[in-house]
Amino acid sequence: MKVAVVGATGLVGSKMLQVLAERNFPVTELFPVASERSIGKEVEFKGKQYKVVSAADAIAAKPDVAIFSAGGSTSLELAPKFAAAGITVIDNSSAWRMDPTKKLVVPELNADVLTKDDKIIANPNCSTIQMVVALNALHKKYTIKRIVVSTYQSVTGTGKKAVDQLNNERNGIEDGPMAYKYKIDLNAIPQIDVFLENGYTKEEMKMVNETRKIMRDDNIMVTATTVRIPVMGGHSESVNVEFENDFSVDDAKKLLSESPGVVVQDDLASQVYPMPLWAHEKDDVFVGRIRRDETQPNTLNMWIVSDNLRKGAATNAVQIAEYLLQKGLL
């Protein structure tokens, strides 16, 4: 496979190169793409150095697949150019997710929607991915009515500037770059992305709309509050989910433990539960604190953690490419 990685010098782009290598994706030629100021710089892949090239040069090289993590505006501009050249694009930005003509894919749930004609495929929001991976089997058996989710999201979801801000604050550096309006160390910021007219942020509404599209059920009600906290390693979510049908907690735990990509960490006696500290650099979605909501029928509480740069972004994109290759769609 000839592979382009667009946004190769960013946090997620670097992670995509790492995941491609770790999973032994059959890369025969690699074309790292980044902004003009990065052209000519080098990135490492499997012990070799590769020069960053322009998007135009990458398109001319006709890779089989281009994995994008370069922001929405870049994706809107460049993804159609790659697609027009017959290159399959897997895009990690929000640009195409809610486009009714584009597929929004989490391989464990809905890779079956993909066809050879899909030249721009959307990778969902990181917070949405880990939640739907955990809820999929439960939805199939009990049918979800409503989800109430609060997220506790890593600074890595914002990018390198946010990581630098947190590290600078912890090291007493006061004049460094600010990714956030406020200090993030020893703080929690209840705003991720911009506010919309309804009082929710774009991040919160992504979780609402993307969940319905991926799970192919517009009847699922979702309400979200997304919060940035001073951690690295992964996003955490407190999820309260109401079902049409009743369940036993033991059965729910069994379904979760048998779900692809899910690891149950729920040993209260030993105080074992998911944390970003343990999720860091892993591809699984970790679920724990699984318990019945005692205030209303058919409702379950759980705590979900996953590495947002991996399963929440890079790994999910590479898994889509693996599926396309396996099914002969590339």
Percent of the chain with pLDDT over 90: 98
Domain match, 272 and 320 both: no
What SS3 class is residue 265? coil
Predicted confidence at residue 55, as pLDDT, reads: 97
Report residue 217's pLDDT band, with 50, 70 and 90 as the boundaries.
very high
Please indicate whether residue 280 is annotated as part of the active site: no
193-219 mean pLDDT: 98
Asked if 90 and 150 sit in the same domain, the reply is no
pLDDT category of residue 144 using cuts at 50, 70 and 90: very high
- CA-based nearest residue to 122, from 38, 10, 1, 206: 206
- Band of residue 189 on the pLDDT scale cut at 50, 70, 90: very high
Whether residue 137 is found in the same domain as residue 106 = no
What ranges in the chain are assigned the alpha helix state H? 11-22, 55-60, 72-84, 107-110, 126-142, 160-170, 202-215, 249-257, 276-279, 315-326
Q: Are strands 285-292 and 299-306 parallel, antiparallel or unpaired?
A: antiparallel
Q: Answer yes or no: do 116 and 185 share one domain.
A: no
Catalytic residue among 235, 237, 256, 300: 235
256 and 135 fall within a common domain: yes
For residue 328, give the nearest of 25, 113, 115, 119 by alpha carbon. 115
d(CA 121, CA 72): 13
Looking at the fold, whether 183 and 92 belong to one and the same domain comes out as: no
Q: Which of 154, 92, 147 is nearest to 123 (CA)?
A: 92
Examine the domain organization and report whether 62 and 188 are in the same domain: no
Q: Provide the residue count of the chain.
A: 330
Q: Residue 66: what pLDDT?
A: 98
Distance separating alpha carbons of residues 136 and 142, to the nearest angstrom: 10
Number of domains in the chain: 2
Report the greatest alpha carbon distance in the chain.
60
Share of the chain above pLDDT 70, in %: 100
- Asked whether residue 212 falls in the same domain as residue 299, the answer is yes
Domain span at residue 72?
A: 2-123+313-326
Catalytic entry in 126, 231, 252, 264: 126
pLDDT number for residue 83: 98
How far apart, in whole angstroms, are the C-alpha atoms of residue 193 and residue 204?
9
pLDDT digits (tens, 9 = 90+) for 19-70: 999 999 999 999 999 998 999 999 999 999 999 999 999 999 999 999 999 9
Residue-wise pLDDT for 80-139, tens only, equals 999 999 999 999 999 999 999 999 999 999 999 999 999 999 999 999 999 999 999 999
Co-location of 154 and 248 in the same domain: yes
Domain holding 34: CATH number? 3.40.50.720
List, for residues 223-246, the tens digit of each pLDDT value: 999 999 999 999 999 999 999 999
The residues facing 89 across adjacent strands are: 66, 120
Query: Are the C-beta atoms of residues 324 and 111 closer than 8 Å to each other?
Result: no
Same domain, 182 and 143: yes
H/E stretch holding 180: none
For residue 144, the domain's CATH number is 3.30.360.10
What token pair was written down for 287? 């679920």
Instruction: Tell me the one-letter amino acid at 31.
Output: F
- Indicate whether 227 and 81 sit together in one domain: no
91 and 192 in a single domain? The answer is: no
Per-residue pLDDT of 158-183, as tens digits, reads: 999 999 999 999 999 989 999 999 99
